[in-house]
């Protein structure tokens, strides 16, 4: 099979980029999309041209590295599938395919198809955890957790932090990602003590990172490789409103340096 | 170089050793801790948990990862679960039993004291992880669920569907994030450690390359912790992520750290076979599939009919035939070798001839499709996604793949290498799994090291260190930086036209055929010739594009492959020297008439710790004898 | 109070503002529709109603509230839209939509058109700058003859067309607005997604049909113009 690719090439954040056309021959149905790009790169490096840079690692849909917008859809046309798990048998011979990076102000391009998703990490740093020191926990079975709660928490926690939700959202909003993390802890008793602070800190940090506002388009849900449902966004809205109306900390100026001991 | 290998195992009864050690450890006072800076390389389970815990104690931590986020370390891919000796199922489990299973599983090639400590600490890991909000599977009553894993006779494995690794890593990453937010940890993402800096014989810093800007950085610290994972990618095709590499540990080895048991590499029997020459990695399928699937190949070599056209009489259920007692559930290494054997005999199936059938037709007939779907639904759909075949209708195809490396840098009981101040944790060290690792115990080890062991023992080392940092401008740093710069420049100057990937692939083929599931002297000697030849070709013909001052995937990869090309030789030396079959290391010369492994406790009951002595010079082995005070080495039998 | 200020600085707070103000506006539009449909009961009914409204003691209170809410909605809507386009400074060369609809993607457009229409509409019926010749009509009881003004106005094909277009855009806006509002207010639930989608569609269609019925009826001559007393 032969493909006509148009791939975004951009030397660095400072350089301008453009779509460059490449024909790739000898593509097989059993290749993953990334293996198809490997094939392209092999050809390029034989010619002494620089390979197309793209993020990838596990190639089994769990690390969240791969981040390609394939013909206008993050992770490509198959639902609940990362680009690394997308196989070429779903494409036609001689098909033209456009490959672009995640596009969002919060995700500056590093090179070609590689973007900087550090903003997602920073949102989690603001509060995406339970504050517990190693060694201080009671026996694990001290606190029973209703099975539905555990399952709901698991569903939310299956987010792989790929950022496809941001890439797909017409407003480049990170709501689904934030909603998933908050949703995990909100469903568990362990998450309760810091529930309000977490909601406030993460939402404000999300805004500071320059993500857009959710307009309830649900594109994020449609492309999410882990099928995180939109419920979590509604919950996040409730969660945040509740915290904003009742938490003490919200009645004063946000502190930017919070060094708790 | 003279190397003194002192494992520093504390005295006393096995059960008391760790407590004795804890009582004897020197402490750093809380007020002084922030004066010490620890460099943690790696942000997987081991690295993230260690960095977070050290910061919780008050040390200044700098954490490095080549990934774009700590959360992407390959620990994220672990599926099965994590062991602990909780005995929540009331099925007779205990710390001793977990210890015993682990040391026996490792075929008596691990240090008793370390393994016992691992089992002791295991319970606290689960407590901590649950407190972090990790959504482990639960029973209807709300308490934690367990399953039996990897042939264990008790149910001691905690799990979160097929994502245990991701959930545990997110927990450790959360703890790390909390410390980053508090300003006690600085994370350097997309930053690769390229060398270790010793000052007066102690590990005092590292030299890194910022993968985005290409900038070379010098980082000084009071101690260096390597948590850089395993080296299965020396086989090119493995279940590891593409970025997994040996660079950090191997370069530390070149600076004097000993590399222990590199030949102990584990193969996982149930992976989806390669579909062609383009294959870039192999995907693991849960071993639980072997509970209901039957493994077979056609009797006739070169069989061309599709599976369901092959009549029952012309199928060879070779595991059931050879191991009637365990059948399809024989341990990983045995099942793997058997698969390879039938494929070598020409009976393998699939486009590459390297695959065997895992057939559910009978199970579906007996239990109904719904039951199978309920048990394995998500695995079946994963299989279908990858292969495009429906395993409800045609048998799955599986083949073994390199999966885990028990070998790693040598460490003492305190997890410190022979280089003072260089600590090694997680899959990167050699410590606890001996010659073979039990399922669900790597996660346990990484977290035990990171949350509970290293933070204590490292304090002891720091307590006797002076709190002044070496100046990164000093001679020791400049000379290492110079070496790094020279090597980078050399790579960029090769100017060939053969893609780096093709060298890696070829190395993988050599390793797989000469030093894979079964090894023999002739093959290993052949590899020891082929590898240097390939390495020379690499330095002559490889195509490394671009320059060093930018984001350069081609350079990144070339550096790692260059290290594999040296390290592979060390691995083969070890395999050659270990004239016995034990655990995952199977030497064809050492087997019974029925093909069972023959271990040689008289000559090889030791850890082989290898010293690097320069390129082209054979490495030197420093054995650390293993003594067993509590357990008795027995022979495994699965007949 | 500070809470509210801080809340409305956040994205979720702003969205809540949109949703709450939107809810008030939805309430107004629905009430307005129901009131206007009295036109089909004849001149008496609607003029009665208009007179009752005009004489209502809370008239100005309500007017000002609606005005404020409307202003807030418009202001916030524009602010959000600007932030959203800043969040993706560079667009995709190829963009394939998977799930979102036309209505959702054109909220600002439909909103601004409605805004323009409302201004036009106020100039027409409330202030009387457009079609001033009808502005001062009174009915036999000496009340402002809303009925006649409306019917005469909508009998003009251009005016009817403007009204019809505007009303369709209101429907488009509501189509996404109502279900979005539920989600923003935290009432979204996967199990109800279909129900809310369908409910919203039905509601928007009814609103459009209701409003459309007036220009259409006027154009078809179904609404008779009674004798009136010129100023
Ligand atoms: C598919 C699969 C399934 C598995 N399933 C299980 C299971 O069910 N149960 C179980 O117990 N074990 C399982 N294992 C094994 C287990 O996951 C690993 O052994 C363990 O997670 C390793 O953790 P780690 O922290 O040591 O290393 P990793 O998680 O590999 O982390 C390595 C870190 O080091 C960094 N790094 C490496 N080199 C450098 C460098 N030069 N410079 C800077 N940073 C560097 C990386 O960026 C990364 O952050 C599985 C393994 C695989 C591959
Ligand atoms: C009849 C008048 C109007 C009504 C009933 C109305 C109602 C609504 C409602 C209920 C929402 C949903 C809020 C949410 O998503 O939670 C909404 C959104 C919106 N409205 Fe209006 N609106 C009206 C007029 C306008 C006008 C005049 C504008 C002009 C700027 C406007 C712009 C918007 C925008 C841009 C949104 C989308 C906000 C977002 O999703 O980010 N609306 N409207
Ligand atoms: C066919 C459709 C419509 C008809 C026939 C209609 C009719 C009227 C009438 C008769 C009045 C009263 C004038 C007066 O009493 O002075 C009025 C006022 C008004 N209408 Fe409409 N209207 C229509 C659509 C709309 C829409 C879609 C909106 C808003 C989105 C709207 C907003 C208003 C406003 C804000 C006023 C002023 C209320 C006031 O004076 O307090 N109208 N309309
Ligand atoms: S919510 Fe889904 S799309 Fe967004 S980061 Fe998580 S897994 Fe990716
Ligand atoms: S696509 Fe965007 S608008 Fe909201 S529902 Fe998803 S974040
Ligand atoms: S490469 Fe890991 S999810 Fe795609």
Q: From the CA of B345, how far away is ligand 6's center (Å)?
A: 36
Residue B42 · residue B64 · CB < 8 Å: yes
Mean per-residue pLDDT, A62-84: 97
Provide the pLDDT confidence category of residue B613 given band limits of 50, 70 and 90: very high
Per-residue pLDDT tens over the stretch B204-251: 999 999 999 999 999 999 999 999 999 999 999 999 999 999 999 999
Per-residue pLDDT tens over the stretch B584-607: 999 999 999 888 899 999 999 999
In terms of pLDDT, which residue wins out, B510 or B635? B510
Residue A102 · residue A113 · CB < 8 Å: no
Question: What predicted TM-score, i.e. pTM, was given to this entire model?
Answer: 0.96
Residues of B whose CB is below 8 A from A228:
none
Any atom of ligand 1 within 6 Å of the Cβ of B150: no
Q: How many CB atoms lie within 10 A of CB A158?
A: 23
pLDDT over 70 at B290, yes or no:
yes
Per-residue pLDDT tens over the stretch B64-85: 999 999 999 999 999 889 999 9
pLDDT over 60 at B493, yes or no:
yes
Provide the pLDDT confidence category of residue C231 given band limits of 50, 70 and 90: very low
Q: Cβ of C99 and A204 within 8 Å?
A: no
pLDDT over 60 at A259, yes or no:
no
> Which ligand number lies closest to the CA of residue C203?
2
User: Does the CA dihedral B321-B322-B326-B331 come out positive or negative?
Assistant: negative
Q: How far is A72 from chain C (nearest CA, A)?
A: 4
Contacts of B210 (CB under 8 A, 6+ apart): B188, B190, B191, B216, B217
Going by the DSSP 8-state scheme, the letter that residue A224 receives in this structure is: -
Euclidean distance between CA atoms A212 and A173, whole angstroms: 4
Per-residue pLDDT tens over the stretch A200-236: 999 999 999 999 999 999 999 999 999 999 999 999 9
Does C108 reach chain A within 8 Å, measured CB to CB? Answer: no
pLDDT over 60 at C230, yes or no:
no
Which ligand 3 atom is at minimum distance from the Cα of C125?
13
Q: Cβ of A213 and C176 within 8 Å?
A: no
Q: What is the ipTM of this complex?
A: 0.96
pLDDT over 70 at B101, yes or no:
yes
Provide the pLDDT confidence category of residue B638 given band limits of 50, 70 and 90: low
Per-residue pLDDT at B302: 87
Going by the DSSP 8-state scheme, the letter that residue B510 receives in this structure is: H
Does C173 reach chain A within 8 Å, measured CB to CB? Answer: no
Mean per-residue pLDDT, A149-158: 96
Euclidean distance between CA atoms A46 and B504, whole angstroms: 15
Euclidean distance between CA atoms A42 and A35, whole angstroms: 10
Mean per-residue pLDDT, A97-112: 98
Which ligand 4 atom is at minimum distance from the Cα of A176?
1
Per-residue pLDDT at A261: 39
Q: E-assigned strands of B55-201?
A: 60-64, 82-83, 157-158, 185-188, 191-199
Residues of A whose CB is below 8 A from B385:
81, 85, 87
SS3 B264: coil
Q: From the CA of B179, how far away is ligand 1's center (Å)?
A: 22
Per-residue pLDDT at A94: 97
For chains A and B, what is the number of CB pairs under 8 angstroms? 229
Check if B332 is active-site: yes
Q: What are the tokens at B94?
A: 């205990």
pLDDT over 80 at C229, yes or no:
no
Per-residue pLDDT tens over the stretch C148-207: 999 999 999 999 999 999 999 999 999 999 999 999 998 888 888 889 999 999 999 999
Q: What are the tokens at A163?
A: 């950022």
Phi, psi of B185 (to 5 degrees): -120, 135
Per-residue pLDDT at B596: 84
Q: From the CA of A175, how far away is ligand 5's center (Å)?
A: 7
User: Does the CA dihedral B278-B284-B289-B295 come out positive or negative?
Assistant: positive
Q: What are the tokens at C73?
A: 């909605």
Residue B436 · residue B583 · CB < 8 Å: yes
Share of chain B above pLDDT 90, in %: 88
Tell me which of A216, A229, A234 to substitute to probe ligand 5's pocket, judged by most ligand atoms within 8 Å of the beta carbon.
A216
Mean per-residue pLDDT, B483-512: 96
Residues of B whose CB is below 8 A from A15:
none
Per-residue pLDDT at C224: 83
Q: Which of C164, C173, C168 is nearest to C110 (CA)?
A: C173
Residue B164 · residue B491 · CB < 8 Å: no
Q: From the CA of C48, how far away is ligand 3's center (Å)?
A: 16
């Amino acid at each position: 099979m032969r493909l006509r690719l148009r791939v975004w090439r951009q030397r660095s954040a400072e350089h301008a980029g453009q779509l460059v056309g490449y024909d790739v021959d000898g593509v097989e149905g059993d290749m993953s999309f990334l293996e198809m790009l490997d094939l392209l790169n092999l050809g390029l490096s034989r010619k002494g041209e620089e390979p197309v840079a793209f993020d990838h690692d596990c190639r089994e849909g769990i690390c969240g590295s791969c981040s390609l917008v394939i013909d206008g859809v993050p992770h490509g046309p198959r639902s609940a599938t990362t680009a690394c798990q997308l196989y070429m048998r779903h494409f036609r011979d001689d098909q033209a395919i456009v490959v672009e990076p995640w596009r969002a102000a919060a995700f500056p391009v590093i090179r070609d198809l590689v973007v900087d998703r550090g903003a997602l990490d920073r949102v989690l740093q603001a509060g995406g955890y339970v504050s517990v020191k190693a060694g201080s926990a009671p026996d694990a079975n001290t606190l029973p957790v209703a099975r539905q709660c555990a399952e709901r928490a698991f569903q939310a926690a299956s987010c792989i932090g790929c950022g496809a939700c941001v890439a797909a959202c017409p407003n480049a909003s990170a709501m689904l990602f934030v909603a998933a993390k908050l949703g995990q802890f909100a469903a568990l008793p362990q998450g309760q003590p810091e529930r309000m602070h977490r909601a406030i800190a993460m939402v404000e940090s999300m805004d500071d990172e320059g993500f857009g506002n959710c307009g309830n388009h649900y594109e994020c849900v449609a492309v999410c490789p882990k099928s995180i449902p939109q419920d979590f966004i509604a919950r996040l809205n409730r969660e945040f409103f509740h915290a904003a109306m009742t938490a003490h900390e919200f009645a004063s100026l946000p502190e930017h340096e919070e060094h708790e001991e | 170089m003279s190397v003194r290998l002192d494992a520093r195992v504390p005295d006393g009864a096995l059960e008391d050793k760790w407590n004795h050690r804890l009582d004897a450890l020197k402490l750093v006072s809380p007020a002084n801790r922030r004066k010490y800076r620890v460099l943690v390389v790696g942000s997987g389970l081991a690295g993230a948990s260690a960095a977070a815990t050290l910061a919780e104690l008050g040390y200044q931590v700098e954490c490095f990862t080549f990934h774009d986020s700590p959360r992407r370390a390959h620990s994220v891919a672990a599926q099965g679960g994590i062991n602990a000796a909780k005995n929540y199922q009331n099925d007779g489990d205990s710390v001793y039993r977990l210890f015993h299973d682990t040391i026996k599983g490792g075929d008596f090639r691990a240090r008793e004291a370390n393994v016992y400590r691992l089992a002791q600490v295991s319970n606290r890991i689960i407590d901590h992880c649950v407190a972090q909000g990790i959504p482990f599977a639960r029973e209807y009553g709300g308490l934690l669920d367990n399953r039996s894993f990897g042939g264990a006779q008790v149910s001691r494995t905690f799990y979160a569907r097929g994502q245990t690794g991701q959930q545990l890593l997110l927990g450790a990453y959360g703890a790390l994030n909390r410390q980053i937010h508090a300003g006690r940890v600085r994370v350097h993402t997309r930053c690769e450690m390229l060398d270790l800096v010793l000052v007066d014989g102690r590990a005092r810093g590292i030299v890194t390359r910022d993968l985005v800007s290409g900038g070379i950085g010098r980082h000084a610290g009071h101690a260096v912790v390597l948590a850089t994972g395993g080296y299965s990618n020396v086989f090119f095709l493995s279940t590891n992520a593409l970025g997994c590499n040996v660079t950090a540990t191997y370069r530390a080895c070149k600076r004097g750290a000993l590399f222990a048991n590199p030949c102990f590499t584990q193969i996982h029997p149930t992976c989806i076979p390669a579909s062609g020459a383009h294959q870039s990695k192999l995907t693991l399928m849960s071993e639980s599939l072997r509970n209901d699937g039957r493994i077979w190949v056609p009797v006739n070599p070169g069989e061309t009919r599709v599976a369901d056209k092959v009549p029952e009489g012309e199928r060879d259920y070779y595991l059931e035939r050879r191991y009637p007692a365990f059948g399809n559930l024989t341990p990983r290494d045995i099942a793997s070798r058997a698969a390879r054997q039938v494929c070598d005999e020409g009976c393998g199936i699939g486009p590459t001839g390297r695959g065997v059938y895992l057939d559910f037709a009978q199970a579906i007939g007996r239990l109904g499709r719904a039951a199978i779907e309920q048990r394995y639904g998500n695995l079946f759909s994963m299989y279908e996604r990858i292969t495009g075949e429906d395993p409800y209708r045609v048998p799955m195809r599986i083949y073994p793949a390199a999966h885990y490396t028990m070998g790693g840098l040598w460490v003492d009981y305190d997890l410190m290498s022979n280089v003072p101040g260089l600590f090694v944790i997680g899959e990167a060290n050699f410590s606890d799994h001996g010659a073979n690792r039990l399922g669900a115990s790597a996660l346990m080890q990484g977290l035990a090291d990171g949350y509970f062991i290293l933070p204590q023992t490292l304090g002891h080392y720091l307590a006797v260190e002076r709190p002044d940092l070496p100046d990164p401008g000093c001679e020791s740093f400049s000379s290492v930086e110079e070496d790094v710069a020279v090597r980078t420049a050399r790579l960029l100057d090769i100017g060939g036209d053969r893609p780096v990937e093709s060298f890696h692939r070829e190395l993988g083929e050599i390793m797989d055929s000469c030093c894979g599931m079964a090894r023999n002297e002739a093959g290993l000697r052949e590899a020891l010739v082929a590898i240097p030849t390939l390495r020379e070709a690499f330095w002559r013909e490889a195509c490394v594009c671009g320059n060093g001052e930018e984001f350069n995937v081609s350079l990144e990869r070339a550096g790692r492959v260059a290290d594999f090309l040296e390290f592979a030789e060390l691995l083969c030396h070890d395999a050659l020297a270990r004239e016995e079959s034990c655990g995952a290391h199977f030497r064809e010369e050492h087997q019974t008439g029925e093909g069972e492994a023959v271990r040689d406790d008289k000559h090889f009951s030791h850890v082989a710790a290898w010293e690097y002595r320069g390129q082209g010079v054979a490495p030197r082995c420093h054995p650390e004898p293993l003594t067993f005070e509590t357990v008795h080495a027995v022979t495994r039998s699965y007949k | 109070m500070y809470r509210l200020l801080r809340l409305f600085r956040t994205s979720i707070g702003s969205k809540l503002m949109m949703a709450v103000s939107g809810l008030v506006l939805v309430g107004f539009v629905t009430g307005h529709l129901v009131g206007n449909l009295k036109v089909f009961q004849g001149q008496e009914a609607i003029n009665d109603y208009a007179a009752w409204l005009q004489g209502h003691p809370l008239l100005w209170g309500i007017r000002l509230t609606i005005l404020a809410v409307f202003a807030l909605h418009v202001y916030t809507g524009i602010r959000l839209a600007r932030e959203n386009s800043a969040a993706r400074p560079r667009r995709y060369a190829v963009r394939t939509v998977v799930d979102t609809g036309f209505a959702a993607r054109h909220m600002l457009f439909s909103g601004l058109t409605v805004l323009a229409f409302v201004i036009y509409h106020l100039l027409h019926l409330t202030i009387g700058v457009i079609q001033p010749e009808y502005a001062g009509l009174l009915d036999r009881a000496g009340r402002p003859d809303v009925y006649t003004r409306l019917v005469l106005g909508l009998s003009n094909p251009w005016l009817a067309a403007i009204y019809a277009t505007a009303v369709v855009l209101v429907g488009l806006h509501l189509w996404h607005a109502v279900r979005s509002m539920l989600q923003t207010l935290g009432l979204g639930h996967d199990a109800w997604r279909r129900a809310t989608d369908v409910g919203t569609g039905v509601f928007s269609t009814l609103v459009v049909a209701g409003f459309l019925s007036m220009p259409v009826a006027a154009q078809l001559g179904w609404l008779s113009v009674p004798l009136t007393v010129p100023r």
